[in-house]
Amino acid sequence: MAESKRQLKFSNLIREELSTIFLRRFQGTFQGSLVSISDVEMSPDLGLARIFISVFPVSQSEPVMDRLNDHKGQIRGDLGRAIGKEVRIIPELAFFNDSTAESADRIDKIIDNLVIPPEEEENE
């Protein structure tokens, strides 16, 4: 189902604010990992934000996701302080691992391991 303009507006607002919060709160915590917010989806009532997190290298996904979930309440509090004057309800946060990077990595490995025989030349 397509998101409404209102949902898209809040998705963008939350993505921007969470990016700032992550930089402040987790500075130096995820050393050796690149952590980014790939997407934010809002529920129709704006009470739940599904946040998709992309982690590189993929092997660090689980520890990063565990850390984010452990600090979910503090992150929501920071978000409330940042956007509290712009919204009536601070949404609940649900973090999900964006597996797009894993899929791309798996596809790259498959392509790298393909054995393609050379094309036969036609004699005329």
Q: What is the pLDDT of residues 102-112, one digit of tens each?
A: 777 788 888 88
Residues shown for the chain: 124
Residue 51's contacts (CB-CB under 8 Å, 6 or more residues apart) are: 14, 18, 37, 39, 40, 93, 94, 95, 96
Q: Which residue has the higher pLDDT, 31 or 36?
A: 36
Query: Which residues 6+ apart lie within 8 Å of 68 measured at CB?
Result: 53, 75, 95
Written as one letter, the residue type at 68 is L
In this prediction, residues 94-108 reach a mean pLDDT of: 83
The model's pTM: 0.77
Question: What is the mean pLDDT of the segment spanning 81-96?
Answer: 91
Q: Which residue has the higher pLDDT, 101 or 44?
A: 44
> Residue 69: which H helix or E strand, with range?
helix 61-70
Structural domains in the chain? 5-112 (3.30.300.20)
